[in-house]
Amino acid sequence: MDACVQPGLLPVHDAIARIIAALEPTTATETVSLFDGLDRVLAENIIAPINVPGADNSAMDGYAVRLQDGGDELTLIGESFAGHAFSGDIRAGQTIRIMTGGLIPAGADTVVMQENVTRRGDSIRINKLPDVGENIRRAGEDIAVQSLVLSKGHLLTAVDIGLLASLGIHQLRVFQRIKIALLTTGDELLAPGDVYQPGKIYDSNRPLLHALLKRLPVDVKDFGIVPDNPEALRKVFLSAREYADLVISTGGVSVGDADYTKEILSELGEVNFWKIAMKPGKPFAFGLLGNSLAEKTRATKCWFCGLPGNPVSTAVTYHQLVVPAVRYLAGENPVEPIVIKAVAAKPLKKQPGRMDFQRGIFSIIDGVNSVSSAGLQSSGVLSGMGKANCYIRLEAGRSSVAAGESVDVILFDRFIR
């Protein structure tokens, strides 16, 4: 595939690999309440301290019976409700009323659904015999005691929180949040709330990245809009690296602009300016903005990602390059994107040489995975990205796609929505 990349450009996969190879994941941990565990990265393996469920219990409202001894005319001798077990045991010819979650009494081997019995006073007649063992949830069937439930490096979901709660776990060891300094550069930028001025544009990248970063285990400090002037940039980079594990900036990395950003960054650290074989988002800067500084409370390195200024380029390079970088820094185990195949519903324009991340709309039409362009593909047009629900990822060597051809699709995940 690399042979198809325009000479002088870095393939997307190589860019990601270089970033990951350079970064050093955090080792700092903290203990949080289970209630604060969502979207945090586990810093410990979770081994089940108990069986879940803890004991055999009923999956249905019905009657617990001893089916192995036969008989379909039974005498009711008690009840077992969730949280209120029946203390005796069941012999042949006997049954108890049992509700979902009620413990299976000693001697019983099956639960008969209440719909399948006729009850007259204390006598129960089974109309439809189940198989032995039916309608019982076995101890440890969900999670067996001593089994590995979740691994170190796992990003916790809401379902995980429920799962951990079912094990009686109420505190978790997680990695500390990564500290991110966010800034945008450009003399043309207006902050949200500024009065509109002709010739200027509102800074959309900073609010966009601010919102996207809420999906990641990070603390963000906003360093605002920085004018295109070397002194202002130097000053802000110096204070940003005092705070951050990672500085993210947008703008000022394309040819022309890059010259003095480059100069300042090479003075402060070792930042490389790459031309990545991706569209949108060719220019990208990555590297070290300096080592641990006296002012920093934590002796960690400070990394730098400089994203191109066009909002779609910002969003796509953020998603493709910065999200994996932050997740790795934050201690998460690598996760590969899920790529699915779809048929292009309409032709798609493409020049060979770079990997395209076109914004698309995926749907299933008559059982067939289909995708079409979400509209204008210019890197400045954020409205098209707003309508999209996926990337149409086209390999570097590929040229325009005809309707009916198969393409790779990556559905937008929560990190880009």
Give me the residues that bind ligand AMP (CB under 6 A), please: 184, 186, 188-189, 201, 203-206, 250-252, 254, 257, 308-311
Q: Count of CB atoms within 10 A of residue 225's CB?
A: 21
Q: Which residues contact 157 (CB under 8 A, 6 or more apart)?
A: 38
Look at residue 205 and give the partner it binds from Mg ion, ligand AMP, none, a contact being a CB closer than 5 to 8 Å depending on partner kind: ligand AMP
Residue 135 CA, chain-centre distance (Å), reads 36
129 interacts with, out of ligand AMP, Mg ion, none, CB within 5 to 8 A per kind: none
217 binds, among ligand AMP, Mg ion, none (CB under 5 to 8 A by kind): none
Closest residue to ligand AMP using C-beta atoms: 309
Nearest distance in Å: CB 8, Mg ion:
22
Q: How far is the CB of 313 from ligand AMP (least distance, A)?
A: 8
Tokens of 120: 């007259």
Residue 367 near residue 387 (C-beta atoms within 8 A): no
Supply the minimum distance, in Å, between the C-beta of residue 245 and ligand AMP: 22
Binding mask 155-194 toward Mg ion (x if CB under 5 A, else -) reads: -------------------------------x--------
Q: Min. distance of Cβ 316 from ligand AMP in angstroms?
A: 13
Which 240-259 residues touch Mg ion, going by CB under 5 A? Answer: 251-252
User: Using CB under 5 A, which residues numbered 303 to 322 contact Mg ion?
Assistant: 309
Shortest distance, CB of residue 185 to Mg ion, whole angstroms?
6
- The least distance separating Mg ion from the CB of residue 326, rounded to whole angstroms, comes to 23
Residue 49 vs 224, nearer CB to ligand AMP: 224
List all residues 6 or more positions away from 270 whose beta carbon is below 8 Å from its beta carbon.
287, 288
Cβ distance to Mg ion smaller for residue 186 or 281? 186
Query: Can you point out the beta strands (E) in 260-331?
Result: 270-275, 278-279, 283-290, 302-307
Q: Which of 121, 41, 14 is nearest to 74 (CA)?
A: 121
Per DSSP, 388 falls in state -
Give Cα 91 to chain centroid, integer Å: 52
Residue 40 tokens read as 């945090």
Residues found in the chain: 417
The tokens describing 141, both together, are 């069937």
